[in-house]
Amino acid sequence: MAITTCVFDAYGTLFDVTAAARLAAEEPAFAALKATWPQVARDWRQKQLNYSWLRAVTGAHTGFWQVTQDGLDWALEANGLAGDAALRKRLLDLYWELKAFPEVPAMLKALKDGGLSTAILSNGSPDMLHGAVSSAGIGDVLDDVLSVESVGVFKPARVVYDLVGQRFGCAPGEVLFVSSNGWDAAAGAGYGFVTAWVNRVGEPADRLPWKPDRVLKNLTGIPAEAGL
């Protein structure tokens, strides 16, 4: 079955989620972050994901902005930075301005030039995603931005993956789903998507019943994976 639609996770896949901590650490006002920003960024991201899963399984849904703030608060406390209100505000402000990875614009343009539909499918709330897409300047090469807020539960709930077929009228096997989260790419494969895990840092595969169809170092090869 030929690929007709390419769908991307947003945070960590198209947008560099470590950028907020890295950029803040470069500012003189936040010198305390300079030595610890990589760990803060890792803790922030991990807790953000953990809280989304816990809220999904307990039925306590909230917007992604809330779990983003909660994850940051945990990370700052864990790294001895809980009392710095100015740092917290700066990190949250920078999260609305995340840049796309360098290969993203050309990759998405190649997909569009090849006649494929393109979209984001993300845990992010619509306003957060709009801010990231606008900041990265990639709105003209995306057909849609799909948020879990329309179904009220975070990935990897199957109703989230249902949004793709509902929007584009395609079968799961026509979709190339791309995520930097191994669990997300695996769950997408279990759903029936053709999946690519963008494993930029060489993480081990998650131990789940399903496996991604492809493992890539970055997004440069996605047009070829889509058959272009």
The residue with tokens 């494969």 is 189
Bridge partners of 127?
A: none
The string of DSSP codes covering 29-84 is GGGGGTTTHHHHHHHHHHHHHHHHHHHHHHT----HHHHHHHHHHHHHHHTT-TT-
- Strand, coil or helix: 214: strand
Higher pLDDT, 135 or 187: 187
Q: Exactly one of 9, 16, 70, 184 is catalytic; which is it?
A: 9
Per-residue confidence at 216, pLDDT binned at 50, 70, 90? Answer: very high
The pLDDT of residue 127 is: 94
Residue 9 annotated in active site: yes
- What count of Cα atoms within 13 Å lies in the side-chain half-sphere of residue 126? 6
What share of the chain in percent tops pLDDT 90? 97
For the chain, where are the E strands, in sequence order? 5-8, 117-122, 144-147, 175-179, 194-198, 214-216
One-letter identity of residue 95: Y
Q: What is the Cα–Cα distance from 133 to 153, expressed in whole angstroms? A: 22
Instruction: Say if residue 170's pLDDT is above 90.
Output: yes
Q: Average pLDDT for residues 142-169, to the nearest whole number?
A: 98
Q: Is the pLDDT of residue 199 over 90?
A: yes
- How far apart, in Å, are the Cα atoms of 11 and each of 56, 82, 217? 18, 24, 16
CA contacts within 13 A on the Cβ side of 30: 23
pTM for this structure?
0.95
Please give the domain boundaries of the chain with CATH numbers for all domains: 5-15+99-225 (3.40.50.1000), 19-95 (1.10.150.240)
Out of 81-85, 88-92, 146-150, 159-163, pick the least confident.
Answer: 81-85
pLDDT at 1: 83
Sequence-distant (6+) residues with CB within 8 A of 80 are: 36
pLDDT for position 205: 95
pLDDT classification of 142: cutoffs 50, 70, 90:
very high
E-strand stretches of 101-152: 117-122, 144-147
Averaged pLDDT score across all residues of the chain: 96
d(CA 202, CA 191): 24
> pLDDT for 88-120, tens place per residue?
999 999 999 898 999 999 999 999 999 999 999
Question: Which whole number is the average pLDDT over 54-72?
Answer: 97
Q: Name the one residue in this structure whose structure tokens are 């769950």.
A: 187
